[in-house]
Chains A and B, each alone.
Chain A
Amino acid sequence: MPSRKTDLLQGTLDLLILQIVALGPLHGYAVAQRLKQVSRDALHVQQGSLYPALHRLEERGWLKAEWRGTDTGREAKFYQLTSAGRKQLERERSDWQRLANAVALVLKTAE
């Protein structure tokens, strides 16, 4: 698989999942696909990381899951953002923004 692996910062995966799922209910496979597409193939999440994260977020009450039929007629587990999850997303986004700005600032002055 010729995918460039980018090591995700601890906790970043949670933010990405919450962001992707915020756009509408998705099942696990779709979350992985969407992440790949949106990041233009830069972010490739292994199932061994994706599913533990999904289950963790569900357990914390940020995602809620339900089984429903897909377009192919099979049952899949769809994850959806809860209102607590939305608040968490906002928090993580602003945290990330602050971090990114700070890093950018440091990189600029270092030049």
Chain B
Amino acid sequence: MPRISAWFRRQRLDRDLEKELQFHVDQHVRDLISAGLSPDVARRRARIELGGMEQVKERVRESRSGAWFDRLRFDTRDALRGLRRTPGVACTAILLIGLVIGGNTTIFSMVYGILTKPARGVEASRLVTLSSSVNGEPDPGHSYQDYLEYASRSTTVRSPLANQFDRFTLTLATGSFAFRGARVTNNYFTTLGVPLARGRAFTDSENRLDGSGLVAVISYRVWREQFRGAEDIIGQAVILNGHPATVIGVAAAGFQGPWLTDASQVWVPLVAYTRLVGQGPSGFRPLNVIGQLAPGVSLAAAQSEFRAISSQLEAAHPDTNRARRVVVVPYSVTAGGNSIIAQRGSMFLAIFSVITMLTVVIVCANVANLMLARAAVRQRETAVRYSLGATRVGIVRGLLIEGLLISLAAWLGACVFAIWTSRLIAGIVPAAAQGSALPLDFTPDWRVVTYAMGLALVATIAFTLAPAVRAWRQDVLPWLKAGEQGIVQGRSRLSSTLVIVQLALAVLLLTSAGLAYRSTSLISGRSVGFETENLVLTTVSTTGAAPNDDSNQALLEALRERLRSAPGVRSVSYARSVPSMPDRQWRQDPVRRNTAEASLRAWVTAVGPDYLQVLGLSPLAGREFTADDRVATRASAIVNQNLADALWPGEPALGRTLQLRAGHAEVEVVGVAPNALFSGYGNETKPNFVFLSQRQEPAPPGEMTFYVRYTGALDAIAPAIGRALKDVDARVPMVYLRTLDAELYANTWPVRFISLLLVLFAAGSLTIAAIGQYAVVAFDMKRRTRDFGIRIALGASSRQLLSAAIWDGLRWTAVGLLIGFALSLGAGRAFRSVLFGITPTDALTYVSVFVVLAIASLLACYLPARSVSQIDPIRALRQD
């Protein structure tokens, strides 16, 4: 604590210094007198030569080692005094900077939470994901062959693991449960740094499946919930997707796979399981590969090695590895997985980063303006300081410290604000995809707090710069001669520019928010085209009950028959796809009348019998699939009206044939469905659909969704469905059950969410811009009080003054609005891909924004101008 003790010593040192210098002066005087000067002259000469006792003392103080500390203390005290003298400006600045940094930090912590945090339980550092691309297009994954090549060839990436997503049905004495899980290599847990809470991971012999039987590792959650935390869990026999298996380990608490959205609960050995279920080499694709960077190896080095490995593999296996490239990316970046949030979310967050950055600019411009206005009043004070010997560096340092104090207070507020809003937002975000609850961790940590601090510092520099430059250049004399309010200059060009910048950006934010808001209201107003009430979606998993495609089809039919007879059920169908756009089961395929033509794109999906009937629709022509469609009959299809009109305009579509993707047999159109948004809300206004018969396209065992139209209460139908499923086969677990309305709502939440946030930010920035304009105008008016007094004394009416002041303000508003609308037009085009069904030039939005901003701006000019225009001229002139 040498600095602190130096500070305590200061008093004594100062006394000593005073004594020492006094001695010097006295000695000098004595010498001069003895040299023959009169005492008076001698004293004056000595003092002139000293050049000011205080200055000398100050320089000695500065030469001490603790000097910077003292100086900081003095400057801080000075700055605090300065801020206290204009508490309104100080509080406004703190509030504005605090709010904007808080908002920005919230967004940052969300981006950070989603894009950079590893999944829970993954402890290993320096993990990298090997992603692959073919011809520059992202490829779903690696082949097992390639994985082995990476493992043997690479020296930069150690112990790479491979895993493949899969679905499992775990059958126990207590019932069947559907889980997500993965087929993994032996080193899966060690590479990810996930310890096992019980038991051990797989051995080589278990992965070769040489007689030891199928083994599995389960998640901590499954152990606690399905096994009630049984102590004898290791070695327990279970049925996994119909195969007897032994539990050999329990993963550490919290671990649910390396992707945030995985929610994996079961892991089996990759090679052994793939062989067990009788899949050939194709069963291995696509694999995800994660490895650990070797010590001292940079990401770039690993990347260049894998560039070489990619070329080697291309040369060795030109048939499979043509143009295939491996890209090494930090694992944390990929931890978001392929969820909606990770895919679309990053775009939303990018938009938000831009938006919040804009608000930072608005606020900095605003505070800079406040500071500038304040500095204008303090010009005289600055001049006095200069004349008393303050250096330019010292003055600017003082301004900087004032800025830092404001930012410090704002930063503290911002951190509190960010922590609070992050929690709030994490609560608002619904479970993105059902069945894979995304454990969002938005809690700000030290990195987020540091980010906020960095932002606060940048803000400080941004808003102190303008007054600092002005103080640096300032002349001394004119200000000393003038009274405090004597000199009235018009508002500076800089200050006006800052107001325009704020207004323009506020317009941009408001119109963006308006467009997003309109888009969501259009969504709620838009019908999907079928009856959404009284429809329940029940997703089941057949992996535990059906060993192959044909038995799966038979099982589905049996389930449908049983469900139809359940009490309260009116009709039942099934499909792999649900009306939710990001659903993986929807595929957009090329369709055409014959191979000679160019193809259109249509959403293709297979559905069960009575699909249209369950949705409350009936075919416009022909029929829909029935239980009588047989595999043996000719492959049939139902197209929607849009597609029928596009392919056979003006002609009946029935009986025509349709070419689907390469490799698929020709299908015959047996029915035309009305246009409806079968795949949920999308960007297309007139999507094309082709429905194939599920009976003719038997699906492999997996997840299937039953569409159940019912009457009566949902409370009664849900258990009835559960009982019906159990009656048919107890090994068929219900993965999840929700109403169609809920599914549609989940489909649109990203847009609702983005527009909610946009509206909040826009409202905030409008408030900030209005406060800013108000503050600047108010300050300006106050400064010109004397000027107004003179004008009133000379006969100007208060109305004249008022309108002059308002016109002055509105001129800038007009310029700001114009620039803002120009920017908005550009932004609206960029938004078009995100927003549902609006044009970037939505007139209603623009008019509303114009009215709102014009009113806000008018008020901001009117209120301060009015109070000044009614001033008593005598009082105004006496001021100072």
Taking Cβ atoms with an 8 Å cutoff, the residues of A that contact B are 1, 27-29, 32-33, 46-49, 51-53, 55-56, 59, 67, 72, 74-77
Please give, as numbers and ranges, the residues of chain B lying within 8 Å of A53 by CB-CB distance. Answer: 63
A90 to B21, CA, bound (A): 29
Contact between A47 and B50 (Cβ–Cβ < 8 Å)? yes
Interface centre among B16, B21, B63, B65 (most CB of A within 10 A): B63
Contact between A76 and B20 (Cβ–Cβ < 8 Å)? yes
Give 8 new A-B contacts, CB below 8 A, not counting A32-B24, A47-B49, A76-B23: A1-B45, A27-B20, A29-B24, A29-B28, A48-B55, A52-B59, A75-B23, A77-B16
The contact string, 1 if C-beta is below 8 Å from chain A, for chain B 44-66, is 01001111000110011011110
Contact between B65 and A59 (Cβ–Cβ < 8 Å)? yes
B58 to chain A, nearest CB (A): 9
Residue in chain A with minimal CB distance to B24: A29
Contact between A75 and B28 (Cβ–Cβ < 8 Å)? no
Please give, as numbers and ranges, the residues of chain B lying within 8 Å of A33 by CB-CB distance. Answer: 31
Residue in chain A with minimal CB distance to B51: A48
Cβ of B343 within 8 Å of any chain A Cβ, yes or no, is no
Contact between A1 and B65 (Cβ–Cβ < 8 Å)? no
Please give, as numbers and ranges, the residues of chain A lying within 8 Å of B409 by CB-CB distance. Answer: none
Contact between B51 and A51 (Cβ–Cβ < 8 Å)? no
Residue in chain A with minimal CB distance to B27: A29
Contact between B60 and A52 (Cβ–Cβ < 8 Å)? yes
Please give, as numbers and ranges, the residues of chain B lying within 8 Å of A29 by CB-CB distance. Answer: 23-24, 27-28
The contact string, 1 if C-beta is below 8 Å from chain A, for chain B 1-45, is 000000000000000110111011011101100000000000001
Interface centre among A1, A47, A75 (most CB of B within 10 A): A47
Contact between B23 and A46 (Cβ–Cβ < 8 Å)? no
Partner of A56, one of B26, B31, B63: B63
Please give, as numbers and ranges, the residues of chain A lying within 8 Å of B48 by CB-CB distance. Answer: 1
B57 to chain A, nearest CB (A): 8
Partner of B64, one of A49, A59, A74, A77: A59
A77 to B21, CA, bound (A): 10
Taking Cβ atoms with an 8 Å cutoff, the residues of B that contact A are 16-17, 19-21, 23-24, 26-28, 30-31, 45, 48-51, 55-56, 59-60, 62-65
6 A-B pairs with the lowest CB-CB distances in the bound complex, closest first: A52-B63, A29-B27, A29-B24, A77-B20, A56-B63, A51-B60
B90 to chain A, nearest CB (A): 36
Residue in chain A with minimal CB distance to B6: A59
Please give, as numbers and ranges, the residues of chain A lying within 8 Å of B64 by CB-CB distance. Answer: 55, 59
Contact between B65 and A51 (Cβ–Cβ < 8 Å)? no
Contact between A28 and B63 (Cβ–Cβ < 8 Å)? no
Take A51-B56, A59-B65 as given contacts and tell me if A46 and B51 are in contact as well, using a CB distance cutoff of 8 Å. yes
A8 to chain B, nearest CB (A): 15
Please give, as numbers and ranges, the residues of chain B lying within 8 Å of A67 by CB-CB distance. Answer: 16
B65 to chain A, nearest CB (A): 6
Q: Majority SS of interface residues in chain B?
A: helix
A89 to B48, CA, bound (A): 32
A66 to chain B, nearest CB (A): 11
A24 to B64, CA, bound (A): 25
Contact between A51 and B49 (Cβ–Cβ < 8 Å)? no
Contact between A51 and B23 (Cβ–Cβ < 8 Å)? no
Interface centre among B45, B59, B62, B65 (most CB of A within 10 A): B59
- Cross-chain pairs A/B with CB under 8 angstroms, 9 sampled: A1-B45, A28-B20, A28-B23, A46-B51, A47-B49, A52-B62, A55-B63, A72-B30, A76-B20
A56 to B67, CA, bound (A): 11
B688 to chain A, nearest CB (A): 82
What total count of A-B pairs have CB within 8 Å? 59
Take A28-B24, A56-B63, A59-B65 as given contacts and tell me if A75 and B56 are in contact as well, using a CB distance cutoff of 8 Å. no
A75 to B284, CA, bound (A): 95
B9 to chain A, nearest CB (A): 11
Residue in chain A with minimal CB distance to B65: A59
B420 to chain A, nearest CB (A): 49
Contact between B60 and A27 (Cβ–Cβ < 8 Å)? no
Please give, as numbers and ranges, the residues of chain A lying within 8 Å of B31 by CB-CB distance. Answer: 33
A11 to chain B, nearest CB (A): 14
Please give, as numbers and ranges, the residues of chain A lying within 8 Å of B56 by CB-CB distance. Answer: 47-48, 51
Residue in chain B with minimal CB distance to A33: B31
A88 to B515, CA, bound (A): 75
B22 to chain A, nearest CB (A): 10
Please give, as numbers and ranges, the residues of chain B lying within 8 Å of A77 by CB-CB distance. Answer: 16, 19-20, 23
Residue in chain B with minimal CB distance to A56: B63
Please give, as numbers and ranges, the residues of chain B lying within 8 Å of A51 by CB-CB distance. Answer: 17, 20-21, 56, 59-60
Residue in chain A with minimal CB distance to B23: A76
Residue in chain B with minimal CB distance to A76: B23
Please give, as numbers and ranges, the residues of chain A lying within 8 Å of B59 by CB-CB distance. Answer: 48-49, 51-52
Residue in chain B with minimal CB distance to A74: B23
Please give, as numbers and ranges, the residues of chain A lying within 8 Å of B16 by CB-CB distance. Answer: 67, 77
Residue in chain A with minimal CB distance to B30: A72
Take A1-B49, A59-B65 as given contacts and tell me if A75 and B60 are in contact as well, using a CB distance cutoff of 8 Å. no
A28 to B17, CA, bound (A): 11
A46 to B60, CA, bound (A): 12
A1 to B45, CA, bound (A): 9
A32 to B20, CA, bound (A): 13
A100 to chain B, nearest CB (A): 27
Interface centre among A1, A32, A51, A67 (most CB of B within 10 A): A51
Residue in chain A with minimal CB distance to B31: A33
Contact between B23 and A47 (Cβ–Cβ < 8 Å)? no
Partner of B60, one of A1, A55, A72, A76: A55
Residue in chain A with minimal CB distance to B45: A1
A28 to B18, CA, bound (A): 13
Contact between B21 and A47 (Cβ–Cβ < 8 Å)? yes
Please give, as numbers and ranges, the residues of chain B lying within 8 Å of A46 by CB-CB distance. Answer: 49, 51
Please give, as numbers and ranges, the residues of chain B lying within 8 Å of A55 by CB-CB distance. Answer: 17, 60, 63-64
A32 to B51, CA, bound (A): 15
Please give, as numbers and ranges, the residues of chain A lying within 8 Å of B26 by CB-CB distance. Answer: 74
Partner of A47, one of B24, B45, B62, B63: B24
Contact between A27 and B55 (Cβ–Cβ < 8 Å)? no
A53 to B64, CA, bound (A): 10
A77 to B64, CA, bound (A): 17
Residue in chain A with minimal CB distance to B22: A74
Please give, as numbers and ranges, the residues of chain B lying within 8 Å of A32 by CB-CB distance. Answer: 24
A69 to B17, CA, bound (A): 16
Residue in chain B with minimal CB distance to A49: B59
A42 to chain B, nearest CB (A): 17
Interface centre among B19, B24, B30, B45 (most CB of A within 10 A): B24
Please give, as numbers and ranges, the residues of chain B lying within 8 Å of A52 by CB-CB distance. Answer: 59-60, 62-63
Please give, as numbers and ranges, the residues of chain B lying within 8 Å of A49 by CB-CB distance. Answer: 59
Interface centre among B17, B19, B21, B27 (most CB of A within 10 A): B27
A22 to chain B, nearest CB (A): 21
A56 to B59, CA, bound (A): 11
Please give, as numbers and ranges, the residues of chain B lying within 8 Å of A27 by CB-CB distance. Answer: 20, 23-24
Residue in chain A with minimal CB distance to B49: A1
A3 to chain B, nearest CB (A): 10
Please give, as numbers and ranges, the residues of chain A lying within 8 Å of B50 by CB-CB distance. Answer: 47
A44 to chain B, nearest CB (A): 9
Please give, as numbers and ranges, the residues of chain B lying within 8 Å of A74 by CB-CB distance. Answer: 23, 26
Please give, as numbers and ranges, the residues of chain A lying within 8 Å of B65 by CB-CB distance. Answer: 59
Please give, as numbers and ranges, the residues of chain A lying within 8 Å of B27 by CB-CB distance. Answer: 29, 76
Take A29-B27, A29-B28, A52-B60 as given contacts and tell me if A47 and B20 are in contact as well, using a CB distance cutoff of 8 Å. no
A75 to B63, CA, bound (A): 24
A53 to B63, CA, bound (A): 8
A28 to B28, CA, bound (A): 11
A25 to B792, CA, bound (A): 74
